[in-house]
A and B are shown apart, each in its own frame.
Chain A
């Protein structure tokens, strides 16, 4: 099975690369702007990243093709498969950060405060393509005091995946991008099926994750300012309304409680793959396994509309260590990774989305299935002030676990949603965000 997947990926990558290279040959403007400089650089550079095995192989490919431009540079790939944030922190504390490394969009502040991040603002001028036509609202997450210290290498969007076979079977129309939360709840109830003896649920209409993307998405869809003036604001009416969508679905029996599902692994995508869940909200990262493993027709639409729409920004940002001896090389590597030629090698797998508007409209970079519209549209409402502020507190990991612990209590029916949200605010504002 894995071999097949590898083959399929290799094929896809090959197609994508030839296409990308052909494109580069055709249009002069698409040449990588750092090529000339690359030839003059030399030295060994370490690049540390997380992700899964496919991602590791893809980046190995990116570094290899970079080194063709820069024969005197050697990029050493450091791959950390699990507990990445903890490991990065440890390396930082031992003062042995790699030259280039990934950080979660909410984990940058502490490194910035400790003076460990190289200010890459000058490089944005040296390589104008880095920021040209970049999607709105993504640069900010790596920007502190006007300095760009981390770069958004891509993004993932958050959409609703649909098992369209189940819709056909139940005679329910497949929703379009303009659907609302009410439609969603209704369809979820319709698609929920009991076992033959009626004793329990066989197929759930939908699933929810007790995960930051879900919280941010649902609260955002009701315009909630869930983090405001440096304080947690979950008890706000709008926040409650957004989280209530998740809560109601569980209460109505249209979604399994997240605890039930997460105890079989960290995510619900398995249930979608084996046909136990009809609609599943998630990021672009599930697509490689869906393409490989789903033996039914499936597609994706935008998340249902509340009073508005907000797409959570989930991203690994690239930073350069302030201790690096070769900042020019590091920036050159980054520039290559972000070039059309570098990105096409990563985007072919559909693990994530390019952070550039022109590439978002390009089939090579945002390929199908599922339909690209949901992803393209969501770029228009990416990120929110609450998420940006909360991410930049530098205390997200602890805040996140306070949220997740209390919400799990509510989702499992141990407390009400109001109680959980009140507890989140009290706990977070009492200690984390005190003074």
Chain B
């Protein structure tokens, strides 16, 4: 675009306007979270609460048969094992696809890539039937198992990364009679910290933000995740928008912190996954 003082000014103006559009809904959420029910439904609406109702947060955190902390821990029970195992298995598979030669390697890799195009809804019912038959209904198994042994996206990402590493890295080690497992574990894995961080953030977010999965597989209230808990503020007995907004903020805090801490890894992940894929 044209470079010049005036143009720069317009650009700054535009980025600020866009920033306002992005931020305003969040601001409205925070303002609403502190209002009383009566003020929420007032017309004309007040922008800032006349009385800041901090109780909304304590009530949102403790309402219902299980507390927010309990729901958060439930979400962690799903997110943490999914993330950890997914990274280990994906990275091993990524190494194999990037560095090892074996029959049908590229065909199998294409199977993984193609699976990324399949919408979740297509496998939803048979998967559900499978887990139901195995007696895993109302457990976390169906939410953990399918992603645990590596997913196409993670395998693709680690493979792309391993392919950028020079061959010399492992050649000496092979000559020394080093096993591939050791090469992967001792040489490759330490080099892939940034990509592991990227995957960790993505997997974690995916598991934490998932809604359809828990809706289908979880029945008992004691097993509710954060997202389900938030939605259950909306049943006929508790359609409390003040609490929904306060609860939303509580649900948002963990992912926002994670994002701010790991943002450079997120950017890298999208760039690698998006542009080349």
In the complex, A touching B, CB below 8 Å?
yes
Let me know if B65 and A53 touch, CB within 8 A.
Answer: yes
Q: Which of A1, A264, A275, A276 contacts B239 (CB 8 A)?
A: A264
Let me know if A82 and B231 touch, CB within 8 A.
Answer: yes
For residue B237, which residues in chain A have a CB less than 8 angstroms away from its CB? 52, 285, 289
For residue B63, which residues in chain A have a CB less than 8 angstroms away from its CB? 2, 53
Residue of A nearest to B239 (CB): A265
Known: A52-B237, A266-B234, A267-B236. A1 touches B59 (CB 8 A): yes
Let me know if A265 and B241 touch, CB within 8 A.
Answer: yes
Binds B, one of A85-93, A303-311, A367-375, A379-387: A85-93
Q: Is B146 an interface residue (CB 8 A)?
A: no
Let me know if A269 and B239 touch, CB within 8 A.
Answer: yes
Q: Is B106 an interface residue (CB 8 A)?
A: no
For residue B239, which residues in chain A have a CB less than 8 angstroms away from its CB? 264-267, 269-270
Let me know if B137 and A270 touch, CB within 8 A.
Answer: no
* A102 shortest CB reach to chain B, Å: 13
For the complex, what is the distance from the CA of A140 to the CA of B54, rounded to whole Å?
50
A residues apposed to B, CB below 8 Å: 1-2, 52-53, 56, 78-83, 87, 90-91, 93-94, 96, 195, 200, 202, 264-267, 269-271, 273-276, 285, 289
Total residues of chain B contacting the partner, CB 8 A: 32
Let me know if B62 and A2 touch, CB within 8 A.
Answer: yes
Q: Is B219 an interface residue (CB 8 A)?
A: yes
Let me know if B219 and A90 touch, CB within 8 A.
Answer: yes
For residue B138, which residues in chain A have a CB less than 8 angstroms away from its CB? 87, 91
For the complex, what is the distance from the CA of A3 to the CA of B145, rounded to whole Å?
40
- Bitwise, B212-229 to A at CB < 8 A (1) or not (0) is 000100011100100010
Q: Is B64 an interface residue (CB 8 A)?
A: yes
Q: Which of B43, B228, B232 contacts A200 (CB 8 A)?
A: B43
* B202 shortest CB reach to chain A, Å: 28
Let me know if B235 and A90 touch, CB within 8 A.
Answer: no
For the complex, what is the distance from the CA of A266 to the CA of B244, rounded to whole Å?
13
For the complex, what is the distance from the CA of A112 to the CA of B89, rounded to whole Å?
47
For residue B167, which residues in chain A have a CB less than 8 angstroms away from its CB? none
Let me know if A81 and B59 touch, CB within 8 A.
Answer: no
Known: A52-B235, A80-B221, A265-B241. A90 touches B132 (CB 8 A): yes
Let me know if A274 and B219 touch, CB within 8 A.
Answer: no
For residue A270, which residues in chain B have a CB less than 8 angstroms away from its CB? 37, 41, 239-241
For residue A285, which residues in chain B have a CB less than 8 angstroms away from its CB? 236-237
B residues 126-159 with Cβ under 8 Å of A?
132-133, 135, 137-138
Let me know if B64 and A94 touch, CB within 8 A.
Answer: no
For the complex, what is the distance from the CA of A260 to the CA of B37, rounded to whole Å?
17
Q: Is B5 an interface residue (CB 8 A)?
A: no
Q: Is B115 an interface residue (CB 8 A)?
A: no
Let me know if B65 and A1 touch, CB within 8 A.
Answer: no
Q: Is B46 an interface residue (CB 8 A)?
A: no
Can you list 15 contacts pairing A with B, beta carbon distance less than 8 Å?
A2-B59, A52-B235, A53-B63, A53-B64, A80-B219, A90-B132, A90-B219, A93-B132, A94-B133, A94-B135, A195-B43, A266-B235, A266-B239, A270-B240, A274-B37
Let me know if B219 and A87 touch, CB within 8 A.
Answer: yes
B residues 219-267 with Cβ under 8 Å of A?
219-221, 224, 228, 231-232, 234-241
For residue B133, which residues in chain A have a CB less than 8 angstroms away from its CB? 94
Known: A202-B43, A271-B41. A94 touches B238 (CB 8 A): no
For residue A275, which residues in chain B have a CB less than 8 angstroms away from its CB? 38
Let me know if A274 and B41 touch, CB within 8 A.
Answer: yes
For the complex, what is the distance from the CA of A265 to the CA of B135, rounded to whole Å?
34
* A5 shortest CB reach to chain B, Å: 11
Let me know if A81 and B132 touch, CB within 8 A.
Answer: no
For residue B11, which residues in chain A have a CB less than 8 angstroms away from its CB? none
Which A-B residue pairs are the 8 nearest by beta carbons?
Answer: A265-B239, A52-B237, A87-B219, A267-B236, A81-B221, A94-B132, A266-B236, A274-B38
Residue of A nearest to B39 (CB): A274
Q: Which of B62, B65, B238, B240 contacts A79 (CB 8 A)?
A: B65
Q: Is B55 an interface residue (CB 8 A)?
A: yes
For residue B135, which residues in chain A have a CB less than 8 angstroms away from its CB? 94, 96
Let me know if B64 and A81 touch, CB within 8 A.
Answer: yes
Residue of B nearest to A48 (CB): B219
For residue A79, which residues in chain B have a CB less than 8 angstroms away from its CB? 65, 220-221
Residue of A nearest to B233 (CB): A265
For the complex, what is the distance from the CA of A288 to the CA of B235, rounded to whole Å?
15
For the complex, what is the distance from the CA of A90 to the CA of B135, rounded to whole Å?
11
Known: A195-B43, A200-B43, A273-B37. A265 touches B65 (CB 8 A): no
Residue of B nearest to A79 (CB): B221
